[in-house]
Structure 1
Amino acid sequence: MTPTVLVPGMLCDADLWSDLPELPGEVVHAEITEPTIGGMAEQVLSSVDGEFSLVGLSLGAIVGFEVLRRAPERVRAFGALSTNAGAPRPEQLAAWERQAAGDFDEVVAEIGPAMFAEPSSPLRERFLGMAKRIGPEVFRDQLAAQATRVAAYDAVAAYPGPVRVLCGDRDALCPTGFHEDIVNRAARGRLHVLSGAGHLLPLERPAVVGALIRRLLERGEA
C-alpha cells in the first residue's frame, strides 16, 4: 500500500490526527511552514518518495490542491476536510493582515471558539496546545501563505483520482457550500457532511473521520 501523507490545518500539528483509529500502511505527517502555498506544496511532495495518498484539513487541503496542480500523477487518492478551493476574499485578506500584526496569544484565543461546533468545547485546550507549539513565527508564515493561494477548481477538475470531501454542518469557517463546489468539479468526488460537527473534524468526530479515510485509502472510493 502507498503511504498516506496527513497535512494539518493552520495552527495545528500532528496531534490533530492522533485520535483517529489506526490507518493502514505508512503514515507521514507533513509540516507546512513555508510562507507560500507553492512552498508548502513542495514540503508535502518532498516528505515521501513516489506515489502517495494525501489527506489535508483546511489549509492542509488547500496545500493539497496545489499538490494536485503540480504532481497529480503522484497522488493516488485525495481527502479534503473542512476547506475552501476558492481564492481569498477581500475580507479574509484584511483579517489575515490584522491577525499577523496582532498579539499572538490574543489572536489564538479569538480564533479558538470558531474551530468547534460548540465554542466552549473542552477540545479548545487541544487546539490551544497545538497553536502554542506552532508559535507566532510559523503562524505569520501560514497567514502569508494563505494570501498567495488561488482558486483551485481547475486542479480539482483535472485530477482523475478519487476525492473524498468531509465537512461539518456547523463549521463557522468553511460552510457546506464550499465543499459542494469542490465535489461538483471533481471527476470522482463524494461529499460527506457530518451532523453537529464544526471545523476540526478529526478531533470532534475521530471515529467517523477515520472510517471514511480508511475506505478512501483501502478501496480508492470517493
Structure 2
Amino acid sequence: MPNEDMAGPLPLVVVPGMLCDASLWRDVGFPEGHDVHHVPLRRADIGALAEDVLATVLGPLVFVGLSLGAIVGFEVLRRAPQRVAGLCVMATNAGAPRPEQYAAWREMDELIAAGRFTDVVERTLPDMFPGRSPTPEVARRYRAMAHAVGATAARAQLAAQATRTDAADVLRTARCPTVVLAGARDTLCPPAFHRAIADSVPGALLTLLPDAGHLLPWQRPEAVTAALRELVTAAARTAPASAADATP
C-alpha cells in the first residue's frame, strides 16, 4: 500500500536485478531518515513492474535500481517523470534487447520449465563478479539469493526482459538529479553502456568503480552508500515543494 504520509524526507524505492532480492542491498547504508521501500520483480512485463513502483508511495520518490531494476526505473521515468525526484541506476543497459539476448532468455526459460532452475543459476553466476571468478563465499551468497527468488519469479523476470524498449528518448527528457554507477569489470553491462546513459541524461553524474563487477551493492557498498546520500540531498533541493504537486 502507498505511504500516506505526504511530508518529510523523500522515500527511496529500490528495485534489484534479475535473480536478486532485497538482500542485495544489505551492506548499503541507505540515507538516514528516508523510508526505503523494496519492490520485488515478480511480474512478466516492464510496464507492470513500473506500475508496482508507482503504487508503492504517493508523490515524489527517489528511484534506485540495479540491472533489470534500473530498466524498470527507465519505464517509471517514461510514465511519470514528475514523480521521479532522483534517479540512481547501476549495472544496467538502456538499449533495446538484442537478438542473441532474446535467444538466451528463451533458452533459460526452457531450462527452468524443464526443472533445471539450478542450471540457470549456475549459468548466470560468473557474470555477476569481476573476472567471472567469484570466491566460494560470494558464490554461495549469490546461489542462496537466487534460490530464494525462485523459479517462478525467474520466469517472470525473463519474460519482462523481453518487453524492454530502448530508453534513450526518455533519458534525454529527464530533468531530475541522476547518478549512474558502473563496475569497471562488469562483463554483463560494461562501462560503455553507462556512458551512453550518462550522456543521455542532462547533468547526470557517472561514477566508474574500479575492480567491481555487476553486483555493485555487494562489491562496492561504500560507493553506493555515498552516491545515494549525495543523490537524496540533490533531489531534496529540486523536488516539488509539496508531494501532492507530483501526484498524477
* Structure 1 length-normalised TM: 0.97
Structure 1 distance, partners of 2:134, 2:63, is 31
Structure with greater Cα Rg: 2
The equivalent position to 1:106 in structure 2, one of 98, 119, 125, is 119
In the alignment, structure 1 segments of 5+ residues that lack a partner are none
**Counterpart position of 1:212:** 227
Task: Give the alignment of 1:165-180 within 5 angstroms.
Answer: 165-180=180-195
**Counterpart position of 1:88:** 97
Task: Note the C-alpha offset of 1:112.
Answer: 0.7
Q: What CA deviation, in whole Å up to 9, does each residue of 1:98-121 have, x standing for no partner?
A: 001111101101111110114223
Q: How large is the RMSD of aligned CA atoms in angstroms? A: 1.1
In the alignment, structure 2 segments of 5+ residues that lack a partner are 1-8, 238-248
Task: Note the C-alpha offset of 1:154.
Answer: 0.9
Task: Note the C-alpha offset of 1:23.
Answer: 2.0
In the alignment, structure 1 residue 125 sits paired with structure 2 residue 133: no
**Counterpart position of 1:68:** 77
Secondary structure of the residue aligned to 2:27 is: coil
Contact map agreement 1:31 1:44 (CA 8 A) in 2: no
Task: Give the alignment of 1:37-56 within 5 angstroms.
Answer: 37-56=46-65
Structure 2 distance, partners of 1:157, 1:130, is 34
Letter in 2 for 1:77: G
Structure 1 distance, partners of 2:195, 2:226, is 21
Q: What CA deviation, in whole Å up to 9, does each residue of 1:52-91 have, x standing for no partner?
A: 1000000000000000000010010000100000000000
Runs of 4+ in 1 over 3 A off after TM superposition: none
Structure 1 distance, partners of 2:220, 2:200, is 26
In the alignment, structure 1 residue 202 sits paired with structure 2 residue 223: no
Structure 1 distance, partners of 2:203, 2:41, is 27
Letter in 2 for 1:12: C
Contact map agreement 2:44 2:160 (CA 8 A) in 1: yes
Structure 2 distance, partners of 1:144, 1:10, is 11
Secondary structure of the residue aligned to 1:125 is: helix
Contact map agreement 1:57 1:82 (CA 8 A) in 2: yes
Secondary structure of the residue aligned to 1:188 is: coil
Q: What CA deviation, in whole Å up to 9, does each residue of 1:155-200 have, x standing for no partner?
A: 1111111110001010010011100111111012111000000000
In the alignment, structure 1 residue 8 sits paired with structure 2 residue 16: yes
Task: Give the alignment of 1:7-46 within 5 angstroms.
Answer: 7-24=15-32, 25-46=34-55
Q: What CA deviation, in whole Å up to 9, does each residue of 1:13-60 have, x standing for no partner?
A: 000101012423111111221101001101111111111100000000
Letter in 2 for 1:70: R
Secondary structure of the residue aligned to 1:79 is: strand
